[in-house]
Amino acid sequence: GENVEQHPSTLSVQEGDSAVIKCTYSDSASNYFPWYKQELGKGPQLIIDIRSNVGEKKDQRIAVTLNKTAKHFSLHITETQPEDSAVYFCAASTNFGNEKLTFGTGTRLTIIP
């Protein structure tokens, strides 16, 4: 089955700086890669996703890049703000009728004011 590794497990950045979280996956059949943000006491919130037919996707201060050859994808957050502090999870799935997500281990991001 799919295995998703995520690094780093914790990340602290100064407000205004950029943050990068990286994930690798094992199943070459995976073709959908979402990122979730989980704030304390809440359920995960889908913040951005990318499919295997594109290499990069951007939404305001958030971007995701995908390298299918190397089987890794990354989340980039620019101009970080205190409200970006949360736990971020990457995930991977295929689109062959069983769309279950395999999650990474999570990254606790802390923005230092």
The binding site for other proteins (CB under 8 A) comprises 32, 34, 36, 42-46, 49, 51, 89, 93, 95, 99-106
Give the span between the Cα atoms of 10 and 81, in whole angstroms.
17
Q: In this complex, which beta carbon is closest to other proteins, that of residue 78 or of residue 102?
A: 102
Q: In this complex, which beta carbon is closest to other proteins, that of residue 32 or of residue 71?
A: 32
Residues 36, 45: contact at Cβ < 8 Å?
yes
| Shortest distance in whole angstroms from residue 80 CB to other proteins | 23
Please give the C-alpha separations between residue 45 and each of 3, 49, 104, in angstroms, as whole numbers. Answer: 21, 11, 15
Q: In this complex, which beta carbon is closest to other proteins, that of residue 83 or of residue 99?
A: 99
| Shortest distance in whole angstroms from residue 88 CB to other proteins | 11
Give the span between the Cα atoms of 12 and 19, in whole angstroms.
8
Two structure tokens written together for 74: 């990354």
Two structure tokens written together for 105: 């281990």
Number of H helices, E strands in the chain: 0, 11
Q: In this complex, which beta carbon is closest to other proteins, that of residue 17 or of residue 59?
A: 59
| Shortest distance in whole angstroms from residue 83 CB to other proteins | 18
| Shortest distance in whole angstroms from residue 84 CB to other proteins | 19
